[in-house]
């Protein structure tokens, strides 16, 4: 059960998080088969999308926003509301490093990100998207 209050401000906040999560994922998806595919950026945006979907779910539960990029930490937070989020732990392994790589490119394995890894990142983000949206299905008036 979701606990977000039905105020217009809280509904707008949830809509904004979901819209930005979807936008990140759409950009990643649309670039996968581009003439020049920025695979690193695709992976980064996939991680960002997953992060925003998880935060949207948590915000809907009344969670106070935490400025973490760690998907495993967000899953642990979600577990306090719904044990079925444990199914996403392995999915976070695919994505978790890409946010850090995006902010600190000198520390990343930039040259080792190929189309296969970019596709895996998109698929992982899509899995998190579908899972979270199924959990927020009772927010049809918001979505």
How much is the mean pLDDT over the chain?
86
pLDDT band with cut points at 50, 70 and 90 for residue 1: very low
Task: Dig out the tokens for 58 from the structure.
Answer: 């948590």
More confident residue, 143 or 86: 86
As a whole number, mean pLDDT of residues 52-72 equals 91
Report in angstroms the alpha-carbon separations of 112 from 4, 98, 108. Answer: 41, 12, 9
Distance CA(101)–CA(141), nearest Å, equals 36
Tens digit of pLDDT for each residue in 78-97? 999 999 999 999 999 999 88
pTM: 0.87
Cβ–Cβ under 8 Å, residues 59 and 17 = yes
φ/ψ of residue 141, rounded to 5: -70, -20
Q: What's the pLDDT score for residue 128?
A: 98
- Look at residue 2 and tell me whether its pLDDT is greater than 50: no
pLDDT band with cut points at 50, 70 and 90 for residue 107: low
CATH topology of domain 8-138: 1.20.120
**Continuous segment of H or E residues that includes residue 140:** none
For 20, counting Cβ atoms within 10 Å of its Cβ (0-12 exposed, 13-18 middle, 19+ buried), the class is middle
Map out the domains of the chain as residue ranges. 8-138
> Tokens 């509301």 — which residue?
81
pLDDT over 70 for what percent of the chain? Answer: 83
């Amino acid at each position: 059960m979701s606990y977000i209050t039905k105020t217009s401000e809280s509904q707008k906040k949830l809509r904004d998080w979901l819209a930005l999560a979807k936008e990140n994922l759409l950009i990643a998806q649309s670039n996968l088969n581009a003439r020049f595919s920025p695979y690193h950026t695709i992976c980064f945006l996939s991680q960002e999308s997953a992060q925003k979907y998880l935060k949207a779910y948590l915000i809907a539960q009344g969670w106070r926003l935490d400025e973490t990029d760690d998907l495993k930490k967000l899953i642990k937070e979600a577990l306090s509301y719904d044990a079925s989020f444990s199914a996403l732990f392995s999915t976070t392994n695919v994505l978790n490093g890409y946010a850090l790589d995006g902010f600190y490119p000198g520390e990343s394995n930039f040259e080792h990100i190929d189309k296969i890894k970019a596709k895996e990142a998109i698929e992982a983000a899509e899995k998190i998207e579908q899972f979270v949206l199924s959990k927020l299905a009772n927010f049809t008036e918001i979505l």
